[in-house]
């Protein structure tokens, strides 16, 4: 049952990614990427990480994709690639190197010894958002606060970068 769900979700995720890569319109690319993010969030649920499932949906599929779609439509940059590529040898080389990367990462990723997936009481405790929250506010309290600071810097940076009538 789990395997069937995994296979369906994996097919959806790969389809979304490939469609994002090949579609000529940037709005379509963004929507296909949204499909991919939704599929990955289902993967998190299958991996017994329900908190990350919620975070993935709200932050990635919600906030980030809205930002992408907003900028694409604001700039009117849906189709900027109508002119022919000026670096003609780039495409075949990129395909070749991409294939090499895939082979290497699959070999390295599958090379290690695999233990059978755990189950039972330990897994139930692992998937509980409470254990993640406790860890976040005890051992990882300083990184958590630094992250808040990074978000503040991002907000200030966006405002500064988009000020009108000022040279940067």
* Binding positions for another protein, 124-163, rule CB under 8 A: 126, 131-132, 135-136, 139-140, 143, 147, 150-151, 153-155, 157-158, 161-162
Does residue 20 contact residue 34 with C-beta atoms inside 8 Å?
no
**Of 80, 89, 142, 165, the one binding another protein by CB under 8 A:** 80
Q: What is the dihedral of CA 17, 12, 102, 52, to 10 degrees?
A: 90
Does residue 12 contact residue 39 with C-beta atoms inside 8 Å?
yes
**Of 86, 89, 142, 165, the one binding another protein by CB under 8 A:** 86
Burial class (CB in 10 A: 0-12, 13-18, 19+), 119: exposed
Strands (E), the chain: none
Minimum distance, C-beta of residue 28 to another protein, in the bound complex (Å): 10
Residues composing the chain: 168
**Of 8, 67, 141, 145, the one binding another protein by CB under 8 A:** 67
By CB under 8 A, is residue 73 in contact with another protein?
no
By CB under 8 A, is residue 20 in contact with another protein?
yes
Query: In the range 25-54, which residues lie near another protein by CB under 8 A?
Result: 26, 29-30, 33, 36-37, 40, 43-44, 46-49, 51-52
By CB under 8 A, is residue 106 in contact with another protein?
yes
By CB under 8 A, is residue 64 in contact with another protein?
yes
Does residue 69 contact residue 30 with C-beta atoms inside 8 Å?
yes
**Of 2, 89, 142, 165, the one binding another protein by CB under 8 A:** 2
Minimum distance, C-beta of residue 99 to another protein, in the bound complex (Å): 8
Q: Which residues contact 65 (CB under 8 A, 6 or more apart)?
A: 30, 33, 34, 37
**Of 89, 142, 165, 168, the one binding another protein by CB under 8 A:** 168
- State the CB neighbour count (10 A cutoff) for residue 73: 13
By CB under 8 A, is residue 8 in contact with another protein?
no
């Amino acid at each position: 049952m789990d395997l069937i769900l995994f296979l369906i979700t994996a097919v959806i995720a790969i389809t979304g990614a490939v469609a994002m890569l090949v579609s000529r319109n940037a709005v379509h690319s963004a929507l296909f990427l949204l499909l991919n993010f939704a599929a990955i969030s289902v993967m998190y649920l299958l991996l017994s990480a329900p908190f990350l499932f919620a975070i993935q949906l709200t932050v990635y599929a919600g906030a980030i994709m809205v930002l992408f779609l907003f900028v694409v439509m604001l700039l009117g940059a849906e189709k900027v690639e109508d002119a022919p590529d000026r670096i003609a040898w780039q495409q075949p080389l990129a395909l070749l190197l991409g294939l090499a990367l895939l082979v290497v990462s699959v070999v390295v990723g599958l090379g290690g010894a695999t233990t059978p997936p755990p189950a039972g009481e330990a897994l139930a405790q692992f998937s509980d958002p409470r254990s993640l929250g406790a860890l976040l506010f005890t051992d990882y309290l300083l990184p958590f606060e630094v992250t808040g600071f990074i978000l503040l810097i991002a907000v200030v940076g966006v405002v500064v970068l988009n000020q009108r009538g000022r040279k940067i």
